[in-house]
Structure 1
Amino acid sequence: MTISTSISRLRAAPSPTPLQRTVWSSAGLFALILAWWLGSLALSPIALPSPLETASALSRILFDGVALSYLLETAFRVLCGFAVALTVGAVLGLAAGLSVPLRQAVGPILSMMLAVPPIAWVVLSLLWFGLGGQAVIFTIAVALVPIVFLAMLQGMRTVDPALVEMAESFHLRFPDFLREVLLPHLLSYLLPAMVTAFGIAWKVAVMAELLGAHSGIGSGLAVARSNLDTAESFAWILLAVGSFLAVQYGLIQPLYRRLEPWREPAAGAGRQVAS
């Protein structure tokens, strides 16, 4: 069987039903929890607490009320940093796509920024802003700007000239051209970058809070680490992961599908190709 044949069969395979996706996801999650439980039996509770011990610690910080307040602090910082990065990166990418000299001047700088590890930005932000939320927001923004910039720049550079000529031939007004032609094209590059950037923003926020904040999920994780409370450390990690997944699948993915429905495979398309 050739590679092309395998790819063709994969494309022709029917899409899984919602029930099948739920069953497979549940099976994978069950396998992970089972492996976690078996590992906790082989290791000490300090090294790897059991799922029940972690659930108990998670319920404790939730009922204490500290988890909710820290979660809101982290979410606020993520949204602020994400909004700053989206605005600055999109504007710079749009301008660089329209101006070759600006692209040549700004492109290498942002590419260098992309290569800087987030931990280095955390250290610098603590030196510049001190402990607190400003350092976290700055770290998130400066880590995400290059990602948004490169996505927007790539979108600007791949605009089909034929579409521009067609819009000019029909004397399409600029607002209509922006809405009907340019924005849908740019969104096809910007939306995947935004999904990736949001995941990075959440991780960077927790890392920055761990090293330099008095509140937030990372701060709670830092306190649990200093107390050698591994179960509570795992509880804070689960809170961070669960919150991210809730936003990812409850808000971002539905918005992504709404803005770009053409990326979703048509129902039954696989079965029609297979037949």
Structure 2
Amino acid sequence: MTRVLADRLGRLGRFLWAGWSGVAGIALFAALWQAGNERYGDFILPAPIDVSVAAWTILRDTGNWATAGLTILRGFEGFGLSVAIGMIGGLAAGYSPATMRLSRPILTLLIGVPPIAWIVLAMIWFGSTDATVIVTVAVAVTPMIFISSAEGAMTRDRGLEDMARAFGVGPFGRLRSIGLRHVASYLFPILSVSIGSAIKVAVMAELLSNVGGIGGALAMSRATLDVGAALAWILLAVTGVITIEYLLLRPIQAELERWRDAARPWGMKR
């Protein structure tokens, strides 16, 4: 028990220490942002500190928490739906070449249609409701998750499966202990991109369908030509995506990919 706890604390420490590179990247982006402000002025691109103050002002109003939470909830519902459909379909395609051949034209069709077109169709089908946002997010994100899941399933180690089968491990046991862990190495990088895409598509759908949320707040900022408020809402949305990724997705990924530590110079030797 002590060894397991020490291992988890060690991985947590490495994870937190690796965050310095992310902080450096954000600092570089802020410096470029400040340079743009000095070049083009506050009306075109407000300074980072001014936008941060505006974002803090927004957060101090408890009503705005509900606005941001509504967008995140819609994005998460669409994201969860896309993960369920994409993973199940991707695993089926990865384990069945015939399913993969049948699904390729459908994936090409879904990827080829821009999200704005799906928003228009969803508005016709569902009107100005949450379903418009959720369906648009699901349709936009599902193909990426499907492809990564299928690729992971197709490239799994058949030798390990044969060995597990020889030791009497059933199909579900092989899927849980071998298949899903291999798929996770392909899936989680896509999930990090997909959660950001889900929030972006949700905001865009809210903006066009007039159903509130951060998209509705951006529409109000556009109407009043308040660039600072618009960037403040964008900053809050991006901060939410980063928080979700590093507090939810990254810990799960680290837990499922513990086997990678053995391949590192400081990892466990066998």
| Shorter-normalised TM range | 0.7 to 0.9
Instruction: Give the distance between the partners of 2:234 and 2:38, measured in 1 at CA.
Output: 20
Aligned residues with identical type, % of pairs: 37
User: Which one of 79, 82, 87 corresponds to residue 79 of structure 2?
Assistant: 82
Q: How many residues are aligned here? A: 254
Deviation digits for residues 205-259 of structure 1, max 9, x if unmatched? 1111121132211211111111100110111111111111111122211221121
Instruction: State the TM-score, normalized to the length of structure 2.
Output: 0.83
Q: Is residue 2:203 matched to residue 1:203?
A: no
Counterpart of 2:140, as a letter, is: A
* Higher gyration radius (CA): 1
Moved more, 256-265 or 214-223: 256-265
Structure 1, unaligned runs of 5 or more? 1-15, 271-275
Instruction: State the TM-score, normalized to the length of structure 1.
Output: 0.81
Instruction: Give the distance between the partners of 2:228 and 2:215, measured in 1 at CA.
Output: 15
Query: Match of 2:192, SS?
Result: helix
Deviation digits for residues 91-134 of structure 1, max 9, x if unmatched? 22222234343322222111321232222222221222122311
Counterpart of 2:99, as a letter, is: L
Instruction: Give the distance between the partners of 2:220 and 2:148, measured in 1 at CA.
Output: 38
> Which structure ranks higher in relative contact order (CA pairs < 8 Å, sequence separation ≥ 6)?
1
Structure 2, unaligned runs of 5 or more? 1-13
Instruction: Give the distance between the partners of 1:264 and 1:115, measured in 2 at CA.
Output: 39
User: Which one of 45, 48, 51 corresponds to residue 48 of structure 2?
Assistant: 51
Q: Is residue 2:228 matched to residue 1:235?
A: no
Moved more, 136-145 or 124-133: 124-133
Alpha-carbon spacing, 1:163–1:269, altered in 2? closer, same or farther (3 Å): closer
Q: Is residue 2:150 matched to residue 1:153?
A: yes
User: Which residue of structure 1 lines up, in the alignment, with residue 106 of structure 2?
Assistant: 109
Instruction: Give the distance between the partners of 1:37 and 1:186, measured in 2 at CA.
Output: 41
Deviation digits for residues 46-86 of structure 1, max 9, x if unmatched? 21222343233223322222321111101111111111111
CA RMSD of aligned residues (A): 2.6
Alpha-carbon spacing, 1:171–1:209, altered in 2? closer, same or farther (3 Å): same
Contact 2:184 2:253 (C-alpha < 8 Å) held by counterparts: no
Query: Match of 2:44, SS?
Result: coil
Alpha-carbon spacing, 1:164–1:236, altered in 2? closer, same or farther (3 Å): same
Query: Match of 1:209, SS?
Result: helix
Aligned-pair distance for 1:17? 9.9
User: Which residue of structure 2 lines up, in the alignment, with residue 247 of structure 1?
Assistant: 244
Deviation digits for residues 147-173 of structure 1, max 9, x if unmatched? 121122212222333233323322222
Contact 2:115 2:201 (C-alpha < 8 Å) held by counterparts: yes
Counterpart of 2:102, as a letter, is: A
1:3-42 mapped onto 2 (5 Å cutoff): 22=20, 25-42=22-39
Deviation digits for residues 252-275 of structure 1, max 9, x if unmatched? 1122112112445878649xxxxx
Instruction: Give the distance between the partners of 1:187 and 1:33, measured in 2 at CA.
Output: 33
User: Which residue of structure 2 lines up, in the alignment, with residue 192 of structure 1?
Assistant: 189
User: Which residue of structure 2 lines up, in the alignment, with residue 215 of structure 1?
Assistant: 212
Alpha-carbon spacing, 1:161–1:30, altered in 2? closer, same or farther (3 Å): closer
User: Which residue of structure 2 lines up, in the alignment, with residue 134 of structure 1?
Assistant: 131
Contact 1:133 1:213 (C-alpha < 8 Å) held by counterparts: no
Alpha-carbon spacing, 1:37–1:167, altered in 2? closer, same or farther (3 Å): closer
User: Which residue of structure 2 lines up, in the alignment, with residue 7 of structure 1?
Assistant: none
Q: Is residue 2:171 matched to residue 1:174?
A: yes
